[in-house]
């Protein structure tokens, strides 16, 4: 079986009856939970390869999960308008059980990017197949309301780290999500206006504080580090398109600092499982190369991803070597066991890059 076919099979086989995609069906810390961020990219891969029903089910599940929290969002917005401090623990969850509830396990749980990424993926799916799943309007409006009100707040990044910072990749996801929400045509006039103000605010803030003197994006506002998640601000989120000098410089700088032999590290100070290279990030870098017309480079990253599959065809979250911090690997093995395999996000990213390159088998 080809890795395209196996990836589709993994995604379909483990999708819950609710429509949720589990991050990993076997990994101790992820089992039984779905992230909007991971799921959005998984759904995008499935949508591109014709699994319309599966992607529809995920988007419908996401809309229900978010829409069910409309009252919570309105209460949070009202509290913010009164100037009340709102602890991060009282914001919307980052991950949900497969049935759509918050779950009882402690987590680093205030992340905005997943809500924006879901809106972006829903819009892509709807445009590709002609319509959005029925009943998503309440979820879209709730997510847009939440992001429009709180986009400026510090929160955890893609990697559940640094709650105190405002992360440029998160801002890029929110920017894309609010544009997508407006394009879906379900927002009221006031909601559209608020989303437009937030989009403009994000663009201005990143231009002022999120770009280094060298012309590439920063990991967080005011910092000096580079993170592979910044690639998403170019493709697919389009905060700075591939042809823009900042977009081009960001892709080049991520590749220069974080790519090695086809694999891509998250960031140079990474210690999670010793800090290995992530196949899904190779997919993201390859996606950027493909959209910029660099198909040979994109194909090299797709080939590296495929080479990381187990004999059964499963793609892991990260690979073991060479590591940035090998002395830190043992503590994670003892805490959570072997690296998550399969990671459905890795398979989703493989499908996306394969589609960009016209690879169907």
Give the single-character DSSP code of 21: P
Nearest to 118 by CA among 133, 99, 139, 134: 139
Q: Is residue 294 part of a domain?
A: yes
Distances from the Cα of 88 to the Cαs of 50, 114, 119, 241, in angstroms? 38, 15, 22, 32
Cα 192 off chain centre by: 23
Cα(39)–Cα(43) distance, rounded to whole angstroms?
Answer: 6
Give me the catalytic one of 51, 56, 270, 317: 317
User: Are 243 and 176 within 8 A, CB to CB?
Assistant: no
Nearest to 58 by CA among 141, 147, 126: 126
Nearest to 296 by CA among 286, 306, 304, 305: 286
CATH number for the domain including 180? 1.50.10.10
Instruction: Identify the segments of the chain with pLDDT beneath 70.
Output: none
Cα(68)–Cα(103) distance, rounded to whole angstroms?
Answer: 15
Domain limits for position 300: 3-356
Give the number of domains in the chain: 1
Give me the catalytic one of 160, 161, 209, 297: 160
Q: What are the start-end ranges of the H helices in the chain?
A: 3-14, 36-48, 52-67, 70-81, 113-129, 137-150, 168-184, 189-209, 245-258, 279-291, 295-307, 329-336, 344-356
Catalytic residue list contains 317: yes
Which residues pair with residue 220 across a beta bridge? 167
Give the single-character DSSP code of 264: E
| 3 state SS for 92-141 | CCCEEECCCCCCCCCCCCCCCHHHHHHHHHHHHHHHHHCCCCCCCHHHHH
Nearest to 284 by CA among 190, 158, 164, 181: 158
Tokens of 330: 């043992």
Nearest to 40 by CA among 237, 197, 198: 237
Q: Is residue 361 part of a domain?
A: no
pTM above 0.85, yes or no: yes
Tell me the longest C-alpha to C-alpha distance in the chain: 58
Angle between helices 168-184 and 189-209 (to 10 degrees): 150
Give me the catalytic one of 157, 227, 355, 356: 157
Cα(59)–Cα(36) distance, rounded to whole angstroms?
Answer: 9
Residue 106 is predicted with a pLDDT of 83
Residue 321 is predicted with a pLDDT of 87
Peptide bond into 6 cis (omega under 30): no
């Amino acid at each position: 079986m080809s890795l395209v076919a196996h990836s589709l099979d993994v995604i379909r086989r483990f999708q819950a009856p609710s429509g949720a995609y589990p991050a990993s069906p076997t990994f101790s810390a992820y089992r039984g939970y779905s992230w909007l961020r991971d799921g959005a990219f998984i759904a995008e891969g499935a949508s591109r390869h014709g699994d319309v029903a599966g992607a529809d089910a995920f988007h419908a599940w996401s809309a229900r999960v978010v829409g069910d929290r409309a009252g919570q969002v309105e209460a949070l917005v009202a509290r913010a308008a009164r100037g009340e401090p709102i602890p991060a623990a009282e914001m919307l969850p980052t991950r949900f059980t497969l049935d759509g509830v918050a779950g009882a396990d402690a987590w680093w749980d205030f992340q905005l990017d997943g809500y924006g990424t879901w809106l972006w993926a829903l819009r892509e799916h709807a445009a590709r197949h002609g319509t959005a799943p029925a009943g998503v309007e309440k979820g879209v409006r709730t997510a847009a309301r939440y992001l429009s009100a709180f986009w400026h707040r510090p929160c955890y990044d893609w990697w559940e780290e640094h709650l105190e910072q405002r992360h440029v990749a998160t801002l890029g996801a929110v920017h894309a999500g609010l544009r997508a929400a407006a394009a879906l045509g379900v927002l009221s006039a006031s909601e559209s206006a608020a989303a437009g103000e937030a989009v403009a605010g994000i663009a201005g803030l990143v231009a002022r504080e999120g770009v280094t003197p060298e012309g590439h994006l920063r990991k967080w506002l005011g910092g000096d580090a580079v993170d592979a998640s910044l690639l998403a601000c170019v493709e697919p989120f389009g905060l700075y398109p591939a042809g823009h000098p900042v977009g081009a410089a960001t892709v080049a700088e991520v590749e220069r600092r974080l790519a090695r032999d086809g694999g891509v590290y998250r960031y140079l100070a990474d210690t999670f499982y010793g800090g290995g290279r992530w196949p899904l990030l190779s997919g993201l870098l390859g996606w950027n190369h493909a959209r910029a017309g660099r198909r040979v480079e994109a194909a090299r990253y797709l080939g590296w991803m495929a080479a990381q599959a187990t004999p059964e065809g499963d793609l892991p979250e990260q690979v073991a070597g060479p590591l940035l911090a090998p002395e830190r690997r043992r503590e994670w093995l003892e805490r959570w066991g072997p690296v998550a395999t399969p990671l459905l996000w890795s398979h989703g990213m493989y499908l996306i890059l394969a589609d960009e390159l016209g690879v169907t088998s």
